[in-house]
Copies of this chain bind each other. A is one copy, B any other.
Amino acid sequence: MESPRMATGNRTGPSTPSTPSTPSATPGAPARRPGGRTARTRALVLDAVRAQLVEHGYDGLTVDAVADRAGVHRTTVYRRWQDVGGLLADLLTLGADDDWQPADTGTLLGDLAALNHEVHASLTEQPSIAAALIAVSFRSPQAAEALRDFWEGRYAQCETVVDRAVVRGELPPGADARALLVAATAPLYHHLVLLRSAPDPELPDRAARTAVLAASAGAFTG
């Protein structure tokens, strides 16, 4: 997971509740207005979320503080994002919809190590948006779902890493790509998020190596 990047575009935001792709085709639902002011507000607020997170950390990330910093009224934030979890969830979806691709280093070990280094970096940066999102996902269903979707997407995209390894003959066909990817990355999350160990710069490489050895031993094939 890398840090979500800001794209100050004209996107609608999460307040648009499951709108079909053809907005004008739904007569019962009220017409959305994703234009000028709405988009501007969203950009201001999400900018404020990131700035507030950087300056005051996760504990200083309250709805009131974000609204003040964005120059927007409290109720506006509450109406569109509900709570802090909604804000971070929106920030995540904003950064997740870009066309991220796993690195292609030529070997399974290299690919997994590169992936792990990305995860490691996103979890150890100060402050870590990823860590804040994980923390808030235990309070906010919105954040939990956004994080779930984000990881689902990322793991799906990373399956190409395993596919490439199969094509190269590094792995036998029929390997459980998802299980392999989880085995490679889980120790990182376990140490940094749950055990809260001190960051170990060699951990990404070691975890990747362990997963590759297990895969070579046939751990993920039937």
Listed in ascending order, the chain A residues whose CB lies under 8 Å from chain B are 134-135, 138-139, 144, 147-148, 151, 179, 182-183, 185-187, 189-191, 193-196, 206-207, 209-211, 213-214, 216-220
Contacts and interface: CB of A to CB of B under 8 A. Distances in A.
Contacts of A207: 183
A210 B206 contact: no
Nearest to A209: B219
Contact of A148 (B144, B196, B211): B196
B195 A191 contact: no
Contacts of A151: 194-195
Interface centre among A144, A194, A196, A220 (most CB of B within 10 A): A194
Contact of A194 (B187, B193, B206): B193
Contacts of A218: 213
Nearest to A151: B195
B220 A217 contact: no
Given A194-B193, A210-B219, A213-B217, A183 B183 contact: yes
Nearest to A216: B217
A216 B216 CA distance: 11
Nearest to A135: B138
B213 A148 contact: no
A195 B134 CA distance: 10
Given A182-B187, A210-B220, 17 more contacts: A134-B194, A138-B138, A144-B196, A148-B195, A148-B196, A182-B195, A183-B187, A183-B207, A186-B186, A186-B187, A189-B194, A210-B214, A211-B214, A213-B213, A213-B218, A214-B214, A217-B217
